[in-house]
Amino acid sequence: MLKIKLARFGKKKQPHFRIVINEARDKRDGSYVAIVGHYAPSQQPKVLEIDVEAYQAWLKKGAQPTDTVAALFERFQSGNPFPTRPARLSKKAKAKQAAAAEAAAAQAEAPVEAEAPATEAPAEAATAEVTEADSSTSSEAAEPAPADAA
């Protein structure tokens, strides 16, 4: 009985599969009758190519696809076999993203407050308060500290 299955090729931890027609009891990577396509899941973007006419012809001859090959063929026929999904973020990354969004929102509000016209009187009052505070601390430093009677 003939099977349509994946034969693994490629380096260690860098798989590349050929979609082949093989005898059901033969080794996975053994000799095969025909190549119908290939699949490279480790490449970015993933690669899936299948010769549909040859695949259909082998099905008519009685070859049975494995579950994996059947699923890949359905994906291939959909037109977009590997749709892009938004990246999944870890909890730390989500927290950083939320903090950045809050900082951006706070920064967006800050220019609105800065646009208010500033008057010179409050600035003069602030400098007067600073000089009074400086003089009070210097007079305290000049007075001798009370000595405890021992």
Ranges under pLDDT 50 in the chain: none
Distances (CA, A) of 18 to 8, 35, 40, 144: 7, 7, 9, 93
pTM of the model: 0.55
Token digits for 73? Answer: 């063929």
Rg (CA), the chain: 38
pLDDT at 98: 87
Q: Any idea which residue has 């005898």 for tokens?
A: 23
Q: Which domains does the chain have, with CATH numbers?
A: 2-78 (3.30.1320.10)
- By CB atoms closer than 10 A (0-12, 13-18, 19+), residue 40 is middle
Three-class secondary structure of residue 10 per DSSP: strand
- State in Å, rounded, how far the first CA of the chain is from the last one: 109
pLDDT at 21: 94
